[in-house]
Structure 1
Amino acid sequence: MRTGADSAMVPVPAGSVVLRDRRSRRSWAVGVAAHQMSAHPVTQAQYAQVTGERPSTARGDRLPVEGVSWWDAVRFCQALSQQEQLVPAYRLDPDGEGIEWDASADGYRLPTEAEWEHACRAGTGAARYGELDDVAWYRGNSEGRLHSVGGKQPNAWGLFDMLGNVWEWCWDVYDAEVYGTYRVLRGGGWFDEHWSCRASVRRRSHPTFRIDDVGFRVARSVSQ
């Protein structure tokens, strides 16, 4: 991703992860292929460079973009892929309401929640990849506001802000039978208590929802 300084894509090795849903008490194992993930959430400067828009409530080039819906994040991925002459990962219906993921495409996309959790854990089985105050901005240390990306310690694979700062949209539908089109959010945010900032915590929201503690990061598939 070449949309500004410190915007490298980080290689994430193949592996597997067990996802758990506290509400339904289900757990299920998912294999994860090798892929790339952005080192930190998309910043306001990056979002503006690609889309020409600055939707965030707080303002700062190095702050994570927030106030973006799942659909906004998808459109960013499409625009960035086209900007870098990559094959877009998504096929959108003309009405803008339907979407398909082309798994063979080399363009930018949202991570699946299995990819996200696998990347967050970075080869460990722990709920966090370090002491919370060292790796995340959350209610206990954020002073009630967003912080610039990369200000806390990364995990072992070089990924920053996987926990805290902003929740991150993932590709997956949360539970279609119960919540319809609601999509998965991961990671916890600057306003959350410590228990929300764990690798396994799942949140859900409507794909049109926008709020000041939700952002996203991008991923890319790699050739096998």
Structure 2
Amino acid sequence: MKDLILLLIMVLMASCSSFAQQIPPPLPNSFDMEFVRIKPGKMLVGKIEIECPSFPDTRDVPDEIKWTEKDFKLCQEMAEKDSRPGFWVYISQPYYIGKYEVTQGQWQAIMGTNPSIFNEDKVGVNTDLHPVDNVTWEMVQELLVKLNNLDNKYQYRLPTEFEWEYAARAGNDSLLSWSETRELAWIQQNDKGTTKQVGTKKPNEWGLYDMLGNVWEWVEDYYNNDVFADPTPPEEGEIHVLKGGSFTSDVTNATYLFHGAGPGNGYDVGFRLVRVNR
């Protein structure tokens, strides 16, 4: 009886071992880049609502600070002029975007150099896990050529501006409060003047880190020389769009809405990638 039980256990163990071998664990890419799957959806881009208060009872307000009815009317006219209805953007296909900004260690492994100003000598600690900084859009294209030649399973590219913003919002249609931004982002008010290790702030609702703050991030699109993006990005231009703000930014431009123009400061500019199957 004991021999029969032992035989059954051995058969079961062999079966489990065979099953485990048939389902290998998912393989990361060659440079330990992690990606998050973003589902299709839609977002309203560029909507700005500016409101003025209604004309109040001002009998007890000192004359030197009292608004007249004319003042309130002017405020309402200006608010109406500067408000924008926005436009809908539809993300029709799922995509994989970097969980973190590309790090100095990853850039070094691919390119053999580290262009970052905020490197170990500058910061005083190992910066392999800090975002790479001081990179131009053209330098990122050089890295993409090398990376795509090295990885025979996936191809990589910069996200479009709308892919970046959709992922950064994580389903949120309203502006973040100061306290929410502080939880998510290394920015001017809570930073000591350098980049920080990726992934050390709270992730957004979709599990992405440092979408705001740390370093500005390049995207694929050309800049349209306007404050907000257009429904159809320009097909050509001289400079490209930066998103997300950096450790030098304040809460005003450390927002997914901000539509910045490169090259920015340079020293606080990095990127994250999108991964696609070959």
TM-score normalized with structure 2 length: 0.66
Matched, 1:191 2:248: yes
Cα 1:3–1:193, aligned 2, differ >3 Å: closer, same or farther?
Answer: farther
- From 102, 114, 119, give the equivalent of 1:42: 102
Question: Which segments of 5 or more consecutive residues in structure 2 lack a partner in the other structure?
Answer: 1-27, 49-81, 120-126, 226-233
Per residue, is there more helix in 1 or in 2?
2
- Indicate the SS of the match to 1:77: helix
Matched, 1:201 2:258: yes
Cα 1:50–1:17, aligned 2, differ >3 Å: closer, same or farther?
Answer: same
Q: What is the deviation of 1:222?
A: 5.9
RMSD: 2.6
- 1:102-135 superposed Cα distances (whole Å, 9 cap, x missing partner): xxxx510000010001000111213239711211
Q: Would you say the 8 A contact 1:128–1:199 is kept in 2?
A: no
Question: Which segments of 5 or more consecutive residues in structure 1 lack a partner in the other structure?
Answer: 87-105
Counting only pairs closer than 5 Å after superposition, residues 59-138 of structure 1 correspond to structure 2 as 59=119, 60-86=127-153, 107-128=155-176, 131-138=180-187
Q: What is the deviation of 1:26?
A: 8.0
Q: Would you say the 8 A contact 1:36–1:222 is kept in 2?
A: no
- 1:55-85 superposed Cα distances (whole Å, 9 cap, x missing partner): 0001110110011001111221221121112
- From 6, 13, 32, give the equivalent of 2:39: 13
Matched with 1:214 is 269
**Whole-angstrom distance in 1 between the partners of 2:83 and 2:30:** 40
Of the two structures, which has the highest relative contact order with CA contacts closer than 8 Å and spacing of 6 or more?
1
Per residue, is there more strand in 1 or in 2?
1
**Matched residues, number:** 200
**Whole-angstrom distance in 2 between the partners of 1:24 and 1:203:** 19
Task: Name which one, 1 or 2, has greater alpha-carbon Rg.
Answer: 2
